A and B are shown apart, each in its own frame.
Chain A
Amino acid sequence: MADSGYFDPVSPLIQPARPGEAPHPWGHTTLIGQRIPRVDAYERVSGAAVFPSDVQLPGMLHAAILHCPYAHAIVRRLETTRAKALPGVRDIITAETPEAKISWPYGEGYAPPLFDTQLRFEGEEVAAVAAETPWQAWDAVRALEVQFDERPAAVAERLALTEKAPNVHPGGNLARPIQTYARGDLGKGLAEAAVVLSGSFRTASQLHIPLERHGCVAMWDGDGLTVWESTQGVFPVQEQLAAVLGLPLTRVRVRGGYVGGGFGSKLQTSKYAVIAAILARRTGRPVKLFLSREQTMLSMGLRPAAIMEMQLAAKGDGSLTATSLSVLASGGAYGGAGSALVDWLAKDLYRCPNVRTELTDVMLHSQPARPFRAPGYPQGAWALEQMMDRLADALGMDPVALRLQNIPTVSQARDGSPAYTTTGLKACLEEGAAAFGWQESRQRTAAQPATFTTRRGVGMAACNWLVGGGFPPATVVLKLLGDGSIILNMGASDIGGGTKTIMAMVAAEELGVTLDRIHIEHADTATTQYATASGGSKTVPTEAPAVREAAQELKRQLLGWAAEELGVKAEALRYEGASIVVINHQEKKGKSPKRIAVTNLARLRQQRVAMGVGHKRANPKNKAICPFGAQFCEVEVNTLTGEVRVVRFLACHESGRVMNRLTYDCQVHGGVVMGTGFALTEARILDAASGKLCNRNLHDYKLPTMLDVATQTVSLPLKLPDDAANSAGAKGLGEPVVVPTAPAIANAVADALRPWQVRCTATPITPAALLQALAAAKEA
């Protein structure tokens, strides 16, 4: 029946709901949930995909930025003569350049000049050069003669709050009043507990290292600016550029397309885009400006380090009675909340009536922090999930059982304690533990003699995530062309999670077309519709319902046209993909039901296009929509050398409906890898004396290699379509997967070292850290 370009769905295609209503929940699906390779896999693998860093334009210049080599300095003099005279140099802009006398909004009231003479972090922009080749640009940057007056810097959180610390801005280094949260009565909770534990934890700062460096190409055409930028969201970049340059939105076009990783560091643009635009304007030529890797490590954001003090108390049966957490962190030199969300899990993950948290943010002579895959959560999980294990030990309970004892049904941290639409926390713990062989593994590791120097340990940790349900705005347009092919038009970026593929699958599921019939236009402010940046694990739950709405609108229109043409009511028709069929047309033997091919609809033949527009609807009121998860792992610890090897991982996540099992598993694997780096290898190291970054390259900054991550990682999705959350029934996945990984590893290491009661409370768990902890324990 299906002509080419359509397929026979497993279950009947879903019919549109009444106008104004959300699409009916999907029951059984045909494509959704399957393992579908990415629609752009060939382009990505073959190298045909054009990333912003691949863009080459005729007459294009290359730019480079001179950055401050000190954590804190004042520019006394800047001489450009020598640099200007170098071959190929076309323009140099500094604080003195009229076009560059604009301010850069860091937020929170900080809007220093684009090129400030007072420099507050190593990597802050001082001047920029445009030249015929990138090498000439870098040579010219080196030839700029700058007299820096190096000043003492504050780069350690605790020291920065002492009286003698150099101030980042006048008025002391406390970035904001200490934020407190309280519910219940902490004192009462502590008093009624059978066990009260306290502990200190620390997580190191993790640097953003997306594979594609940060940068853009800027080109002016008359008064209009076009910027190709490696970004998670073209619209926020457009808005920021328009605001800073004083242009209407109509004159700034931002094109994204492919992006080689963002992880939160590319949610907004950076000074480089404005610098490229100014240089392009002044030279009348397109300008390409991509930062060096060192510069991305110095200035493109990080997960702030966290210093945490935690107290956890429970009754004899494991019911939590009190939780307190205080956090010290820094968002860097220009405000920002380094401590934001670090306390969320402590407030929300487990049922606890009495909670108090305190967040202290300090200013440092350090690059501004940026959101980093699940901002705040992995830090907070590092403390909370280790404390939960300690509590389980103290109570003689199994760690899984202790968590099961404290499953909440409402989001306690939110005002009014709204119920979750669905919560898979309990099931993730139970099913994950069963699939991992938790009980048997625990017994096996407990039976190891203390004399073994190579020891196994198992550990687990759980999580939720803040914004799993998506939120407006999002607008998607679906266009049906005369030959039955489809254009899917959406503003959202596919940052690697498979957004394009999943949205094509949604359109195909709804319309009955094959995936190769769908062409995707996305991430271009001039030709696609507004979308917020792809971040917060909200892209699928935000965009997929909008695609469904657009498809519903399109189908409704086609049914209307068919009704007109066939002289029946639209309600008497059924959309079947390739054709529209009259329902209840009691066909006699040998006579097929009355139908009309969609591509034969007179109106389509005349108009040549049919269009459906869909928007993301508001979320249900008084409900919390959150993904949940639990991860289990086994490690091998060498007590002679401090080496830790992750043997196996099992990640059981509940993110509502599984949209594409292949990209789902990719997210899980990627999250566990990133979390493993956080746990075992990654740490920004600053020279204490100068505040300068020591490990500024990919050798010294230890991203994990394939040999450092588990050889076996099982992704076990808990399929729990959440129809109350949105019409796709899906919740976010990209961020929760990174949250429990590090504490699960730490708990496994503690299990391996049980005979000495050793626990590593600071990331990363390096051989040095582990040996020191062991030595201290053996001494004690």
Chain B
Amino acid sequence: MFEDFAYARPESVAQAAQLLQDETAHALAGGSDLLGCLRERIFPVKTIVSLSSLKELRGIARTAEGGLSLGALTTLAEVAGSTEVQTLYPGLAQAAAEVASPQLRNQGTLGGNLCQKTRCWYYRGDFDCLRKGGASCLAVHGENHLHCIFGGDACYMVHPSDTAPMLQALQATVWVAGPAGDRSLPLEQLFMPPAQDPTRETTLQPGELVTHIHLPPPMAGQQTSYRKVRARRSWDFALAGVALAVIIEDEIVTSCRMVLSGAAPFPWQATQAEALLTGAALTRERVRAAASAAMQGAEPLTHNAYKIELFKGIIQEELARLVRE
């Protein structure tokens, strides 16, 4: 059923990086996404590079600064269940807990959740989709109920991750190992906008793999949350999601980061809403205004205009919980 492939289980990150330089080599972490891609033969796979021996990529540790370092192979269930995550970044524990189903959270990893492929049915299904090398995006004039309202260009997928928007709201840094050594980048730079390259999901270079995600220590008074709406209540990706990291001091919002899932081909930072909220008191009127601001410039397709109302709804709902009246 699958194409023939070689299976390698490197003992070190350097070896893994070496093996992953081949474009037809793919990293296997939890496998919950890769297995489906293999079955559907979405892209050629000649070598599977299992990361299972790389124990150093697993687990959650405190950083010297007081933040957390999350190994890329930490399972989503471990992230959701970690007391430290729950205490320092409750929104991240929520986001990890909202992914898929219990079985998939036990198997799927944080690194895999960031690097997964889109769930667009034209990409996954038996269609000649642009991202797979086809002539054009079929969703743009097709069944685009689940597709993006922001950031679409050539491809109109939505990024499927629940943890990515929350990590972006928390200003996470991604550590990457590669043939040229280690480097770090802000999480938002991990994702490849389709305008730049509609055939790649990440900016990782051949041979690179995500090793850790670093979170800065939570700022005093920071409140975090992740809210997700989906077509069914388990085992489903977001129709719309909002990750919030907000600090309110003396009734005034001093810092606000709002990142949306289900909106764009990458986690969508609602900068206009952030700007509107920052420096002002959080009132019900401002909440409504922020929800509208977040949707400014949205470009819905034929079947997904509902997302505008939906995003406004969840943003209002989430911000309203912070209002003290």
Contacts and interface: CB of A to CB of B under 8 A. Distances in A.
A205 B320 CA distance: 38
Given A640-B314, A694-B121, A766-B231, A689 B309 contact: no
The binding surface of chain A is classed by DSSP as loop
B126 interface: yes
Contact of B313 (A134, A138, A641, A708): A641
B313 A135 contact: no
Nearest to B307: A768
Contact of B310 (A134, A138, A680, A771): A771
Contact of B232 (A134, A704, A771): A704
A517 interface: no
A687 B231 contact: no
Given A641-B314, A642-B306, A708 B229 contact: no
B300 to A, nearest CB: 11
A221 B232 CA distance: 49
A768 B306 contact: yes
Given A139-B1, A694-B121, A696-B125, A681 B310 contact: no
Given A704-B232, A707-B234, A708-B233, A767 B125 contact: no
Contacts of A138: 1
A134 B307 CA distance: 43
Interface in B110-143: 119, 121-122, 124-127, 138, 141-143
Contacts of B235: 699, 705
A693 B231 CA distance: 18
A700 B317 CA distance: 27
Interface in A15-32: none
Interface residues of B, number: 34
Interface string B228-242: 010111111001100
B125 A453 contact: no
Given A640-B313, A641-B313, A771 B121 contact: no
Nearest to A141: B1
A680 B230 CA distance: 12
A688 interface: yes
B320 to A, nearest CB: 9
A135 to B, nearest CB: 5
Contacts of B313: 638-642, 771
Contact of A642 (B143, B304, B310): B310
Interface centre among A134, A138, A702, A768, by most B CB within 10 Å?
Answer: A768
Interface in B242-259: none
B310 A694 contact: no
B316 interface: yes
A518 B233 CA distance: 43
Given A688-B143, A692-B126, A695-B121, A767 B306 contact: yes
B1 A707 contact: no
Nearest to B146: A700
A191 interface: no
Nearest to A703: B232
Interface string B34-64: 0000000000000000000000000000000
A180 interface: no
Contacts of A707: 232-234
Given A453-B317, A640-B316, A772-B306, A689 B141 contact: yes
Contacts of B286: none
A780 interface: no
B9 interface: no
A702 B234 CA distance: 10
A69 interface: yes
Q: Which of A135, A681, A771, A774 has the most CB of B within 10 A?
A: A771
A767 B231 contact: yes
Interface of B: 1, 101, 119, 121-122, 124-127, 138, 141-143, 145, 229, 231-236, 239-240, 304-307, 309-310, 312-314, 316-317
18 contacts: A69-B126, A135-B1, A453-B317, A640-B317, A642-B306, A642-B309, A645-B233, A685-B121, A687-B143, A689-B142, A690-B127, A700-B119, A704-B232, A706-B234, A707-B232, A767-B229, A771-B309, A771-B310
4 shortest interchain CB distances as A-B pairs? A640-B313, A707-B233, A768-B306, A705-B234
Interface of A: 69, 134-135, 138-139, 453, 638-643, 645, 680-681, 685-690, 692-697, 699-700, 702, 704-708, 766-769, 771-772, 774-775
